[in-house]
Chain A
Amino acid sequence: MTSVAHLKGEELMRVSTTESTSRYLSMALASRRLMNHLDIFSLTGEMDEPTTSALRNLLSIIDAGGQTGNSFAPVPGTSPFGRYEQTLVVNEVAQPFNLKDVRGKLGHIIDGTVPAGERPTAVRDVNEFLYDLENRALHEYSEMSSQREW
């Protein structure tokens, strides 16, 4: 799979810099928002539809990671994780979390099948992943914001 580092120089040259930079900020903010909502879910077991939908979107990106099927992916839409460069980051960050089965825990949280007693642990592990995602997005944003424009 192509890495983000490999693409960065190319992206800076070819894509509208302001817009592609701000996508990393959106990614960081979205990750933080999800962490906050998951904290509430951990305590109450309740989750609103936008949060479920955002988590589902994230899960579909993880599931599609590295697959090279014959069909093209759906359009990224307005998802903060959906652009190609952002999907690479999601998948790079997700990789080390395979051992903790973050993908599985995320799926159970979305399905509502995580038992109440296991909620705090599941949320904690997913939030660790989201924390890393936020961290990485902040790094990319800071780095790209400080590039010279001319």
Chain B
Amino acid sequence: MTIGGIIVNRGRTSQGRPADDHHGWHPTSAHTTAIAVGTLLLAISILAARPDIALVGIPGLLAATWATTTRPTTPLTTTLHEPPGPTAPGELAATLRLTTAGTPGTTPTADIAHLRITAPGHRDTHLALATTRKPGAGEAGVREVALRLSSVRTGPQETFSVDVRGSRHGLWEEEPTEVGGARRLVLPGAAPLGRLPLPRRLRGLTGPHSSRRLGDGSELRDIHPFTPGDRLRRIDWRTTARRSPELDTLYVRRTYSSAEATAVLVVDSRDDVGPDLRTWRGYGTLRVDEPTSLDLARHAAASVAQALVETGDRVGLEDLARRRRPLPPASGRRHLRRVVHGLALAHPKDRAADHRVRPPQVPADAVVYLFTTVLDDEPLHLVRTWRAKGHPVVVVDTLPDLHPVIEHHLWIAWRIARLEREDRLAALAGEGVPVVRWAGSERDQAAVRFEALARAAERNAPGPSTSAPRAAAP
């Protein structure tokens, strides 16, 4: 920290002397100018024998005199308070606390604070504030200022950097100080979804769904003669009395066992593209008030994960760009938080796809939700591999709605890329892979589309028709 031109570290100058009373206050050029103007006008008035000319410079001289007699001695202390832990999109906020050691009315200290607030993707904000508020409006000598970013982006985000300079009477100024916010993690939000496509075969002995296997459940399968191993409490006495009045054969009610579905969310985080094609070249600034493809993928995946966990199903997470252990499928609120946290940390990595020699391993009988922009052939290969192994796949298209481009070469490049992408989507549709779009106005239709897919799968799926969410993806 530099105070009055002296480098001060931990309260001491470079010579080791204490710098307690070095608060960096120095008179401004306005102070010097006021004295110079007053002196000059006084000289002119003497030369011209006109005292009224000197009067023009008197207010400035008086103000400079007043400022000299009230030299500030205490610094303006600034701290930035941010709520701990991760946050949600649109809620990146902090509180700037301006503390004056004394009361500006009695102890000479800063009466105005000049702020320059910078944040990535935002305009610089210049603001001049009074360091004290009205009496009774809060703690004496303390001014709290609420700050909020307009970012809708998710994942790790840089926050505020505030340069503060105190001034007194406009004639004394303090050396500027800088306070900065920490890098914060913005977790993706989740939109409510209805029923979702589920795998054809369900796993486990407990869960919210009825499987096609016999077992302990609530769904009636059939009435069957008693066999060794059947529980006595399952004997249906009414049926037995009707079918075997002599009680030579007992009948039991057999039910389908309950089961749970397993879903794996695969996030294609190898690229992160925004609606502005000019930023696709690797340079240019992505706007923070528009979601990118990765933001949409995080949002869609969090929504699907929440819908599945709420119905008691198991959800796992795979990140295509990172070579780390995937989150194995599990259920419960705590696991949902882990999934959302993992989604927030997904980000592109250079040539990450080159390291993957084969598609991510997926548990048996799991449905795969692939969140991708389909801008290259890799998703197509992944889908075909999973389907060849018998996994139903649902592709969620997370390419944002693009802005029109003016540059001719970009327009041509995008036409070619778009045609290739449409070919891939058409190939997926031809192979019976459902593609749900999750961008712009079509995001609102995504829940309806998922519901339609779930119903279509339910009609085609063998086994019991259940009221619980159960469907098979095509």
| A interacts with B | no
Residues of B within 8 A of A (CB): none
Residues of A within 8 A of B (CB): none
